Amino acid sequence: MRVLFTAAEIFPFAKTGGLADIAHALPKALSEHLDVVSLMPLYRFIDKKRYQIEPTGMEMTLIVGETLHTVEIFSTHYEGVEHLFVYNETLCDCEGIYGPPGGCYENNDIRFAIFSHAIVELSKRLSIELLHLNDWHTALAAPLVKDAGLKTRIVFTIHNLAYQGIFPPLSISRTGLSPHHFTLEDMEFYGSLNWLKGGIAHSDAVTTVSPSYAVEIQLPEFGCGLDGFLRLHHEKLSGILNGIDTTLYDPSGDPSLPYHFSAGRMANKSRCKKAYLEEIDIDTPELPLFIFIGRFVEQKGLDWIIDAANVIGKFPMVLSILGGGERRYEMLFDALSQQYSNIHVQIGYDESLSHRMYAAADFLLMPSRFEPCGLNQMIAMRYGTIPVVHRIGGLRDTVHPWNGKEPLCGKGVSFSEPGASGLVRAIEEAIELYDTRRTFRRIRKFDMDCDFSIRRCAQRYESLYRTLF
Ligand code: GLC
């Protein structure tokens, strides 16, 4: 089966979040059994030399609305997967993927329409049998494939329903979409055009990234206005839990770590903790170290951490935060780190530092308001770091109560009621668990032995693909 896997971001070429990680790990795992080609835009900031990205000589002229756009196709092989890249000035000559920090580009509809038209053209030229689209940035390709009369089967994955690609109606003509799609059953959404609806309506199967999120998004509370539409299409909707690349995240050989460890040899994890605390100039290695790693957006429950800061500041613990995004959060966290000596904040993103933090920590905080899947909790467990999470979406599916009887994989501390008080209680529970030492070590080892590998996830996708033929 010839598969084209497309996303707006793929690690290590371009990344803003978990989408890039999955878009790297999944095609790699799928390509063990299937003929998979990955495709993304060749943004100007991508280091072509470093990744040996070369022109293929293939050029295409696309008609997008009234405008002709020339696109060039580049390629490289990375970790056994053939990666194709679409280069076009309008799509790629920008500093960010979606916009400047915290914003989005005004012409994102045209940019990603060019990408979507290129996906359709390549599906034809490469005789693609199955097209796997991810998030709204590629969703327009679904109606375009159907309008072109192609037999290509389409799987559309929603990584985050909060981002839908909503544009004013005039966008229809400039993106080259046939106006017949502007109906309630199709892409019309409160007088605007909604790309995600197009992806849902015109795909053969729709997936999201955890079973719990697949249920939640059909409820008004989490449906972002599309719960009714998703209920209508529920028969083709399923939740497939993401996984992580266990070679990339491997505490026994991770090149970013000062010391290596595994479930049977844990002494070096304490050394990683000591080394990290020295690095951030905190000298209380006996206290539990909590970390938070992620984008600074409302989804991640940052307000609850901020509301709980006066309590956290007094607790016998250290909290180390790494991330960036919305300016207001960056400023608030900066202020908190000045105020409390046990709260440390590093603004920005640093892949290697994040690995050292996973290795050093005792607990990972993940109080997301909603979480389609979440990868950090799986990475944390692989490094023997116990997750403390809001029991929601993919967090509910991967982190089960540590004191529960069920032998389910992934154990940690969780809280159900949204808000700072739930989070504080969960942190208290984690500190108590830390103090038990023996139980703490047992849970930590249990988590390290769990299988969150992308292989399991890839098997599920492969079976789904096969049901469509
Ligand atoms: C998005 C979601 C996150 C998910 C990731 C990969 O970033 O917010 O929950 O893990 O996509 O699917």
Instruction: Pick the atom of ligand 1 nearest to 375's CA.
Output: 10
Q: How confident is the model at residue 96 (pLDDT cuts 50, 70, 90)?
A: very high
Opening angle at CA 14, ends 13 and 17, nearest 5: 135
Residue by residue, DSSP assigns 32-93 as TTSEEEEEEE--TTS-TTTTT-EEEEEEEEEEETTEEEEEEEEEEEETTEEEEEEE-HHHH-
Q: How far is the CA of 274 from the centre of ligand 1 (A)?
A: 31
CA distance 382 to 359: 9
- What is the average per-residue pLDDT within 411-431? 97
For the chain, what is the total number of helices (H) and then of strands (E)?
18, 19
Residue 101: pLDDT over 80: no
pLDDT at 419: 96
Q: How far is the CA of 18 from the centre of ligand 1 (A)?
A: 5
pLDDT at 408: 86
Q: Please tell me the number of Cα atoms within 13 Å of 262 on its side-chain side.
A: 6
| pLDDT digits 0-9 by tens, 124-176 | 999 999 999 999 999 999 999 999 999 999 999 999 999 999 999 999 999 99
pLDDT at 102: 72
Residue 352: pLDDT over 80: yes
Q: How far is the CA of 57 from the centre of ligand 1 (A)?
A: 34
**DSSP reduced 3-state for 344:** strand
Q: How confident is the model at residue 286 (pLDDT cuts 50, 70, 90)?
A: very high
Question: What integer best gives the mean pLDDT of the chain?
Answer: 97
Whether 17 lines ligand 1, by a CB cut-off of 6 Å, is yes
| pLDDT digits 0-9 by tens, 42-68 | 999 999 999 999 999 999 999 999 999
**DSSP reduced 3-state for 2:** strand
| pLDDT digits 0-9 by tens, 230-243 | 999 999 999 999 99
Strand 188-189 relative to strand 192-194, pairing: antiparallel
Q: How far is the CA of 65 from the centre of ligand 1 (A)?
A: 32
Instruction: Pick the atom of ligand 1 nearest to 213's CA.
Output: 9
pLDDT at 226: 98
Q: What's the residue count for the chain?
A: 469
Q: How confident is the model at residue 406 (pLDDT cuts 50, 70, 90)?
A: confident
- What is the average per-residue pLDDT within 265-282? 97
> What whole-number percentage of the chain has pLDDT above 70?
100
Whether 295 lines ligand 1, by a CB cut-off of 6 Å, is no
Q: How confident is the model at residue 407 (pLDDT cuts 50, 70, 90)?
A: confident
Q: How far is the CA of 69 from the centre of ligand 1 (A)?
A: 31
Whether 4 lines ligand 1, by a CB cut-off of 6 Å, is no
Whether 371 lines ligand 1, by a CB cut-off of 6 Å, is yes
Domains and CATH numbers, the chain: 2-244+454-467 (3.40.50.2000), 267-448 (3.40.50.2000)
Tell the residue nearest (CA) to atom 7 of ligand 1: 18
pTM, 2 dp: 0.95
- What is the average per-residue pLDDT within 337-356? 96
